[in-house]
Structure 1
């Protein structure tokens, strides 16, 4: 499989991880005494884990340059999530916390890429 196909496949798996973890979190939020004030932290953790998963898958399939491919997968994941937020929310604006979260997710993709290369 070519690298672009692997990138899109890793993004697809990252979105599945995001949806699965969001579903689990929402079930906890609904059926337990978990406060809604935990939503920003939970979404940050979930997107960071999904970005790392995209990096792991991308570098695992390419078997080399884990940091580079992980950073690339994390960057495309974050950019696509930001574009989705922009399309959904009319009042969306880039704030400093969004920049920090973006950098965190790109770095987690890179760390996932390093892990993915070393799995084999």
Structure 2
């Protein structure tokens, strides 16, 4: 399997994890007294977990260069999230906190990659 195919699978699995976690969180918002003020922090955590999952899968399947593949997959993951957000919002502003979130998600992908390459049993 080529590295591009592995990367696309990593992104697909991570977006699937993100969607499932967001749906679970929406159920909690609907059926519990959870406040809507928790939405920004929880969605940031979910997106960061998604980037880490992308890095984990990519490094796990490649068995080497975990940090590099994790950073690459985390960067592509957040890049596509930003594009989707840009298309969905009418007044998208690229602010300083977005750069912080991008860096956080890229680092999370790298950490996921480190964990993924070390989980591989040879």
- Which TM-score applies when normalising by structure 1? 0.99
1:2 corresponds in structure 2 to 2
SS in 1 for 2:43: helix
2:73 corresponds in structure 1 to 73
Q: CA deviation at 1:93?
A: 1.1
Q: Gaps (5+ residues) in structure 2? A: none
Offset from partner CA, 1:55-97 (integer Å, 9 cap, x none): 0000000000000000000000000000000111111111111
2:99 is aligned with 1:99: yes
SS in 2 for 1:14: helix
For residues 50 and 29 of structure 2, the distance between their equivalents in structure 1, rounded to whole angstroms, comes to 20
| Aligned length in residues | 120
For residues 11 and 93 of structure 1, the distance between their equivalents in structure 2, rounded to whole angstroms, comes to 25
Moved over 2 A (4+): none
2:105 is aligned with 1:109: no
1:23 corresponds in structure 2 to 23
Which 10-residue stretch deviates more, 88-97 or 107-116?
Answer: 88-97
For residues 45 and 21 of structure 1, the distance between their equivalents in structure 2, rounded to whole angstroms, comes to 10
Q: CA RMSD in A?
A: 0.4
Q: Gaps (5+ residues) in structure 1? A: none
For residues 26 and 76 of structure 1, the distance between their equivalents in structure 2, rounded to whole angstroms, comes to 25
For residues 108 and 24 of structure 1, the distance between their equivalents in structure 2, rounded to whole angstroms, comes to 22
SS in 2 for 1:38: helix
2:85 corresponds in structure 1 to 85
